Structure 1
């Protein structure tokens, strides 16, 4: 999994949609309150802390490969007794039959090869344990990606994108089902779901681009980065105009995965 220079505080301000989707996903877990849970790709920890409140007689570990995110999470939630955070790469999980549930929201699409991730998930679960994952799926953020491709081809920006490779793992249903079966999982559900993000005008859209599209923005020198972000935002709003209340809408496609370890 690639490591980018996450600005944890800035991300915290511009990740409301991810938190909303995470809450919807948590409700699908039907927690009893005694589970041991791994939050994979915990980010700033706010979702992980909400999960911990739902399992007062269980435990939650949040892991992320960003040290700045884990540091912020630990600082934000130091007094939650059943909650800890660790720096760890999702492709190299170091757990052995520790968890009843592995939960992940809006994180795993940062990894291009998911087979090692899925195998690590299987090892991490107790027998009868389950995974519930949601991430960017096939066709995700199609318009914003089209805009990014157009902008990076401009003469002004093109030199910074020599040998650029698409950085995300956006999988379809059949691809993910194959990885799950290869790792020993019993599949309960894999589906693509349409979602919509809303941002408060140019400022909100630019904040989201700045904090989450790092594979693109970090290619550009820091002194030119804001202009690059502004160009993306302007081009996107040309394609998808704001609504009458000044909100910018971004169509997203998520893949949601539910499976269990039957061994």
Structure 2
């Protein structure tokens, strides 16, 4: 396998009947590409070396599909790190939903990892005062055995925030039904390389693994989350498709004809 592909920021755009467009994660935004050193931080830009291609931004892709930016009424985030929140200013009227633990980590000074969480939620991504909203505990708080599931407020579609702890204080996957009734689980940064789920023993990527280790808030919790995702993929392959935010090989497979992305 070629391991030299560039990492991606895999977002998910959901068309709904009642909630308009729902965007899961935003990737980098248009302002990030114009002034990356100021918007993203010079150190992070130098390390990550993001592609500065405006056509890859969620805003341009939404417009290319024939929609207006205002059609994106809701944004659901796996977590509040800069490579997942950069597009927030491009959709200033959207309500932004996060798991209550992630919301608490950036709004409550007494929360664990508060300063760490604030440092990674970039000022440029929240300068427009986004409508940041904590999800509410779901009536059935488990999803395939994952506890603490929350449901975004004010949305009619079947979408859940599933805690996948370890990477950030309130990191969560986003589970939604596809058109055929299967579940899609956008697992965010719970893992970064498909080998972590598909190989036995788990196979990490030599470039992505140091990134994961440097960002995590709880290493032990991250390993537990990874192993639970491995079991989910094995035991419920006919019901759930799991994918992560940064794996380009996964994105290529899901974008192939016959898959839903």
TM norm structure 2? 0.35
Which structure would you say has the larger RCO, counting Cα contacts within 8 Å and 6 or more residues apart? 1
* Greater share of helix: 1
Instruction: Look at both structures and tell me which one has the larger radius of gyration over its CA atoms.
Output: 1
* Greater share of strand: 1
